[in-house]
Chain A
Amino acid sequence: EVQLLESGGGLVQPGGSLRLSCAASGFTFSSYAMSWVRQAPGKGLEWVSAISGSGGSTYYADSVKGRFTISRDNSKNTLYLQMNSLRAEDTAVYYCAKGGEPVGAAAGLLGYWGQGTLVTVSS
């Protein structure tokens, strides 16, 4: 059974940093691309970032480019999102999601999602 468990969320001041983790199990982690998707309170889904199965390719939404860094440790079956220079508009539930293949179009098919971790940016 595929399981994705996010952690690392919490309250942080504007300008601060936070690192999210997503522990994966139930599948061959290195064989699939992974994404982070966020949802601000009462709002829709916003894709944040993606990484290929090998970790060699990374992609970002314009809204987080230069501030967030996605990475993965395939030996630990764990996905990360390092968030720097946080802003109030980054407040959201952050979900990690499993893609459909390591690279290519189906890498963007998000068939499994974690339960999410809440990040609140406020002074």
Chain B
Amino acid sequence: DIQMTQSPSSLSASVGDRVTITCRASQGISNYLAWYQQKPGKVPKLLIYAASTLQSGVPSRFSGSGSGTDFTLTISSLQPEDVATYYCQKYNSALLTFGGGTKVEIK
């Protein structure tokens, strides 16, 4: 089974900072990688799919990159409303796997 490993598990940054979250697959998954945002007490929301394609309505300060085994989610200028836990997910097969999550807080 392919494992998805995210780092860091949590981070604290200031408003306006550039934030980067990484996700590593234990085997190559091409670009079948999605990112989800879960705000406190809320349902997960699809942010990015195909590693770098923004879901409709997602602010342009979010971006994704990577292919194969190494992927990155970047928030170019952190905003207070971005406080959330972010999860990567591979979907190259019917057996889906989520990463462990990265909790983003404001310093």
Per-position contact with A for B90-101: 1 when CB-CB < 8 Å, else 0? Answer: 011111111111
**Contact yes or no, A61 B95, CB < 8 A:** yes
Which one, A45, A108, A110, A116, contacts B101 given CB within 8 A?
Answer: A45
Within 8 A of A (CB), among B12-57: 32, 34, 36, 38, 43-46, 49, 55
Q: How far is the CA of A16 from the CA of B55 in the complex (A)?
A: 40
**Contact yes or no, B91 A46, CB < 8 A:** no
Number of A interface residues, CB 8 Å?
Answer: 24
Contacts of B38 in A (CB 8 A): 45
Number of B interface residues, CB 8 Å?
Answer: 25
B105 to chain A, nearest CB (A): 15
Which one, A45, A95, A100, A106, contacts B87 given CB within 8 A?
Answer: A45
**Contact yes or no, A107 B46, CB < 8 A:** no
Contacts of B44 in A (CB 8 A): 37, 45, 95, 110, 113
* Dominant secondary structure of chain A at its interface with chain B: mixed
A72 to chain B, nearest CB (A): 15
A53 to chain B, nearest CB (A): 12
Please judge, given known A-B contacts A106-B91, A109-B49, whether A47 and B98 are in contact too, CB under 8 Å.
Answer: yes
Q: How far is the CA of A61 from the CA of B24 in the complex (A)?
A: 20
Q: Which 4 A-B pairs have the closest CB atoms?
A: A108-B91, A47-B96, A44-B101, A59-B94
